[in-house]
Structure 1
Amino acid sequence: MRGVKLLAACLYLAAAATVVVHAEDPYFHHVWNVTYGTASPLGVPQQVILINGQFPGPNINSTSNNNVIINVFNNLDEPFLLTWNGIQHRKNCWQDGTPGTMCPIMPGTNYTYHFQPKDQIGSYFYYPTTGMHRAAGGYGGLRVNSRLLIPVPYADPEDDYTVLIGDWYTKSHTQLKKFLDGGRTIGRPDGIVINGKSGKGDGSDAPLFTLKPERLTGLGSVTWVSDIYHFRIQNHKMKLVEWKDRTFFKRLRLSRRSRWPVLWHIVTANQEPKDYYMVASSRFLKTVITTTGLLRYEGGKGPASSQLPAGPVGWAWSLNQFRSFRWNLTASAARPNPQGSYHYGKINITRTIKLVNTQGKVDGKLRFALNGVSHTEPETPLKLAEYFGISDKVFKYDTITDDPTPEQIKNIKIEPNVLNITHRTFVEVVFENHEKSVQSWHLDGYSFFSVAVEPGTWTPEKRKNYNLLDAVSRHTVQVYPKCWAAILLTFDNCGMWNVRSENTERRYLGQQLYASVLSPEKSLRDEYNMPETSLQCGLVKNTPKPVNPYAGA
């Protein structure tokens, strides 16, 4: 799909939250009511998903090691789940919110999430993973601040703003789902929204944000789902800060959830006090879709210019920008797990997995696949089947090979797609895109080092072009048409973790898999037990939980 795409920024606390004093790290409690509502993002009244009556939903403001507790009440007429995109959930895939790890929250019931962001300061977001719900809303921003004991290499901005950019369809999520279930594509989106609105651009729009002249302002950098977007602000430059070379950019390419490890994009309000347009436009579509959102200077006079800044042309521009990003190894900040992984270029690779995206017809219906397998979600979540010792009744490990043949890629079959990954191995994953469309891939539970994106097909000789020194740590990578991308990471985080296309249409029709990382010692040092409050469904419904399977040393 070309679903909704987010650009999550530095956030302020928008949901009602109460801090409870504990001897341990602070707890923040939220209560969310998920309902349907009516909105007109593109001028057409339609059903949207609200959280506490808001579209987009409340922002979460957190700090490293905070305990975030969110009690979600599902008042929809369908099962519902939320995932916390980019949050690594160390040892705790039970809170990941994907259909392979959790049972959905059924209508009229509730479930309480509890997760703890670790050393991963920056801007993230949440969104629904059930059905086609994320095409209807239910998303919002999630910020993780640095603890005070870890200095950050920039001055505090005057204000922080959440910017949420996404495509929008005028058809409901239920209609989009019917299209896909019937074997047809949903096509390109009808428009783009910024914070749930699409600007008219005629001077009648209300400002989304008001800036104080000559002050720094924080805008964040997460995108969500769908096609590549290009974001820019009239007459303003943005400065990327945190961990890497701090460079000014007049424009920033924001692609499918390509969350760079930055806390802010700093904008200095140093232009003539008046109105200015933020502009978001699609990339890699034959017909460019554009929308605007208004910035206003406090006390400023004068409308925004109708002349919008142009976006780039061609995918080579994006490829060159990818190569320009480098980690500032001298900046003070929390480093990603595992310990020492920022020396990733000196670690020997123990396994190479090549993943090739394809599409085709199965029984006359459109399906998308990885290495010839189109994933389907079983009634029993994969992690529960594994935990209860009945995985052989639900799925098979390694139904795909690490280096698929053309024949394997071509012949698509539908079944659960689960990789068996050895704990603490250092793995090279190569995403190879033979298609004419851009692809985007996300890995839950981890940050990885994106070391190369190049045209053509991958061969072992291409490793000589890897950036093995200062590549940026990310959780999403783009693969441009007829290109490949390589990532490196240590699979040290036990659990069942989703690897998925960030094109919602492709993800819904099977272009995803799960990586099962099990602790051989079955120790609580490596993975938490299933929480007592976890929901049970499928073959394990009403089944007593195993007695402390991870109760070892």
Structure 2
Amino acid sequence: MAFLGQLRGWILGAALVAILCTTAGAIDIFLEWHVAFDTTAKPLTLDQPVITINGKFPGPLINVTTNDFVHVNVYNDLDEPLLFTWNGIQQRLNSWQDGVSGTNCPILPGTNWTYVFQTKDQIGTFFYFPSINFQKAAGGHGAIRINNRVVISVPFPKPEAEYDLLIADWYYDSYKLIRSVIGDSEVLYHGVPDTILMNGKGPYGGPFSISYESFNVTKGKTYRFRISNVGTTFSLNFRIQNHSMVIVETEGSYTNQITVDSLDVHVGQSYSVLVTADQDEADYYMVATPKMFRVNDLSSLAGIGVLHYSNSVSQVSGPLPAGPDPFDWNFTVTQARSIRWNLTTGAARPNPQGTFNVSNVTLAQAFVLQNSIGEIEGSARYVVNNVSYYTLNTPLKLADYFRNGSGVYQLGAFPTRSVDEDTAYGISVVPGIHKGWLEIVFKNNLDVMDSWHLDGFSFYVVAFGLGDWDEGARAGYNLYDPVVRSTTQVYPGGWTVVYAFLDNPGMWNLRSQHLQNWYLGEELYIRVHDPDPNPAKEQPPPDNLLLCGIFGESGAPAPAPAPWSWW
């Protein structure tokens, strides 16, 4: 026992030294959020509840630098439980702060809870949003910027200014009404969103718009736009009248700089583009329209904002700038394949991104995940390999820590390479080999676009394809410079393949970013764990840990953890 105590002390000391070395210069940032329903912040003249943060919709920008510690004290003034998740923030060694139903107990109405996470070894463009109860459809989202440390160069000249642009589809109906319709329905809710918002504002000239988004620029200057699709359903094509865009970054990865006239941004994705104000001094349309859906200039599904030159004396006029045909798969797949990792530049660290390549890795695991729609107990559900995730009142992370999952979930019962014959509910938890390479094949059996996200990691997007996937497709993977991100699209009737290095222990959510798919079961969890107590593993739970489910309500004394489970 004495030896074990000395060993534990040595490990903790070494870990502390490593943390101090890697976080030099980092600061603590303290935020206080009051989350409430607010009709005064509504984007349209329609009477509908909007989730605001400190009275704002969208919520406040989180503007931090690599390795900073962010403390967000969330006061829940809603009438139902609440959680926030940080889309793309990797939460190194700390899935306790991930903010999804499998990792956190919800923040109950009238209470508050403080998230604490570190933006460790990350840069880039991300966003946050409420993760439970279909609340994402009511707002509550906001932008996250993680800036480079001053000692790390950025691979383009400093822009005149940076703008955050959150584009999102939006329903006229209340999210609670939609939630009630889809919850126990024998058929899926097929109502499509009604309009497209830009930073929580309706389309320019829209029939129900209160205001529209406008960005001020000066002729000859270059600006960075950080664009995120924070919507629920539609992939969106974004473009600016008479202006080209240079793609420079996506979800924490600097890309090869390519110039585009329009950019497909799929649900849950984020990009940085550079825009030079090189046209006559006037006002120009900024437009976001859905993929796989035809719209015209008068459609409410054309999100419209304005790029305003400082000396402009003319308002926008004429037809909207045309984008690619929304059903042109050649355009969208070609563009997706052209977005490559910049191998010559650093990002969060000085060494080039290309130092971390997948050209010669050995795969330790491979998952083939097929989505579809099934009926379970009279309700329409989204399923993965014929299993629809069943959300428990007890977070999986709590069960894992206190009971090694016993009595809550069965590790490895989910079929990762085959489709079960019977469609059923399941508590889908799969083992991930710590520090092993995982291949995930996402097969989309639906006739609409899908989008998948993995919390806790960025993955290498090595291939897109249409039709069926088989192992022979591996010969065509891009293993030289695949882009690294945390959300990828999967085309209708097609497949996407990613590689992930599972070096971040914890309980991590793998989900569809399409809200109805996610809400109705298209998700699972990957438990990344190493039982060896010698190396430092995931952090222990925070002092303010909330308890719920089989462990009682918040404030109850915590049970003793399973032996060594906190390593």
Structure-1-length-normalised TM-score: 0.91
Distance 1:364 1:537, change over 3 A: same
Distance 1:310 1:481, change over 3 A: same
Alignment partner for residue 493 of structure 1, among 504, 507, 513? Answer: 504
- 2:468 matched to which residue of 1? 457
Q: Deviations over 1:50-73 (max 9, x none)?
A: 100001100110100001111000
Alignment partner for residue 427 of structure 1, among 438, 448, 460? Answer: 438
Aligned residues: 526
Range with bigger deviation, 115-124 or 138-147: 115-124
Matches within 5 A, 1:30-69: 30-38=31-39, 39-69=41-71
Q: Does 1:227 align with 2:220?
A: no
Alignment partner for residue 368 of structure 1, among 382, 387, 397? Answer: 382
Q: Does 1:529 align with 2:543?
A: no
Distance 1:414 1:547, change over 3 A: closer
- 1:216 matched to which residue of 2? 222
- 1:9 matched to which residue of 2? none
Q: Deviations over 1:428-473 (max 9, x none)?
A: 1101112211111000000000000011111111001000110000
* Cα distance in 2 between the residues matched to 1:322 and 1:337: 26
Q: Report how far residue 365 of structure 1 moved.
A: 1.2
Q: Does 1:298 align with 2:310?
A: yes
Range with bigger deviation, 271-280 or 243-252: 243-252
Q: Report how far residue 41 of structure 1 moved.
A: 2.4
Distance 1:204 1:140, change over 3 A: closer
- 1:12 matched to which residue of 2? none
Distance 1:552 1:396, change over 3 A: closer
- 1:394 matched to which residue of 2? 408
Q: Report how far residue 549 of structure 1 moved.
A: 5.5
* Cα distance in 2 between the residues matched to 1:234 and 1:65: 38
* Cα distance in 1 between the residues matched to 2:368 and 2:213: 46
- 2:188 matched to which residue of 1? 185
SS in 1 for 2:356: helix
Range with bigger deviation, 185-194 or 455-464: 185-194
Q: Report how far residue 173 of structure 1 moved.
A: 1.4
* Cα distance in 2 between the residues matched to 1:153 and 1:340: 14
One-letter amino acid of the structure 2 residue matched with residue 142 of structure 1: I
One-letter amino acid of the structure 1 residue matched with residue 215 of structure 2: F
One-letter amino acid of the structure 1 residue matched with residue 217 of structure 2: L
One-letter amino acid of the structure 2 residue matched with residue 252 of structure 1: L
Q: Does 1:481 align with 2:488?
A: no
* Cα distance in 1 between the residues matched to 2:247 and 2:517: 31
- 1:196 matched to which residue of 2? 200
Q: What 5-or-longer segments of structure 2 have no aligned partner?
A: 1-22
Q: Report how far residue 207 of structure 1 moved.
A: 5.1
- 1:520 matched to which residue of 2? 531
SS in 2 for 1:164: strand
Q: Report how far residue 552 of structure 1 moved.
A: 8.3
- 1:83 matched to which residue of 2? 85
One-letter amino acid of the structure 2 residue matched with residue 451 of structure 1: V
One-letter amino acid of the structure 2 residue matched with residue 272 of structure 1: D
Q: Report how far residue 204 of structure 1 moved.
A: 9.9
* Cα distance in 1 between the residues matched to 2:372 and 2:541: 35
* Cα distance in 1 between the residues matched to 2:566 and 2:347: 33
* Cα distance in 2 between the residues matched to 1:165 and 1:241: 19
SS in 2 for 1:46: coil
Q: Deviations over 1:272-296 (max 9, x none)?
A: 1111111010112366721201121
SS in 2 for 1:244: strand
- 1:171 matched to which residue of 2? 173
Distance 1:549 1:220, change over 3 A: farther
* Cα distance in 2 between the residues matched to 1:122 and 1:228: 21
SS in 1 for 2:33: strand
One-letter amino acid of the structure 1 residue matched with residue 320 of structure 2: L
SS in 1 for 2:165: coil
Alignment partner for residue 327 of structure 1, among 308, 326, 341? Answer: 341
Q: Deviations over 1:470-501 (max 9, x none)?
A: 00001011110111111011111000000011
Q: Deviations over 1:76-103 (max 9, x none)?
A: 1100000010000000001100010000
Q: Does 1:315 align with 2:333?
A: no
* Cα distance in 1 between the residues matched to 2:551 and 2:210: 56
* Cα distance in 1 between the residues matched to 2:566 and 2:188: 49
SS in 2 for 1:90: coil
One-letter amino acid of the structure 2 residue matched with residue 28 of structure 1: I
- 1:343 matched to which residue of 2? 357
Structure-2-length-normalised TM-score: 0.88
Q: Is the 8 A contact 1:46 1:170 kept in 2?
A: yes
Q: 1 or 2 for the larger relative contact order (CA 8 Å, sep ≥6)?
A: 1
One-letter amino acid of the structure 2 residue matched with residue 239 of structure 1: V
SS in 1 for 2:125: strand
Distance 1:146 1:442, change over 3 A: same
Range with bigger deviation, 63-72 or 213-222: 213-222
SS in 2 for 1:30: strand
Q: Report how far residue 524 of structure 1 moved.
A: 7.0
Range with bigger deviation, 202-211 or 60-69: 202-211
Distance 1:431 1:156, change over 3 A: same
Q: Report how far residue 259 of structure 1 moved.
A: 3.2
- 2:116 matched to which residue of 1? 114
Distance 1:339 1:422, change over 3 A: farther
Alignment partner for residue 481 of structure 2, among 456, 470, 476? Answer: 470
* Cα distance in 1 between the residues matched to 2:518 and 2:212: 35
Q: Percent identity?
A: 39
Q: Is the 8 A contact 1:351 1:426 kept in 2?
A: yes
Q: What 5-or-longer segments of structure 1 have no aligned partner?
A: 1-21
One-letter amino acid of the structure 2 residue matched with residue 220 of structure 1: R
SS in 2 for 1:446: coil
One-letter amino acid of the structure 2 residue matched with residue 256 of structure 1: V
Range with bigger deviation, 211-220 or 130-139: 211-220
Runs of 4+ in 1 over 4 A off after TM superposition: 202-207, 335-341, 547-553
Matches within 5 A, 1:374-385: 374-385=388-399
Q: Report how far residue 299 of structure 1 moved.
A: 2.0
Range with bigger deviation, 325-334 or 167-176: 325-334
Range with bigger deviation, 444-453 or 232-241: 232-241
Distance 1:341 1:514, change over 3 A: farther
* Cα distance in 2 between the residues matched to 1:72 and 1:520: 34
One-letter amino acid of the structure 1 residue matched with residue 517 of structure 2: R
Q: Does 1:272 align with 2:280?
A: yes
* Cα distance in 2 between the residues matched to 1:528 and 1:474: 24
Range with bigger deviation, 170-179 or 336-345: 336-345
- 1:152 matched to which residue of 2? 154
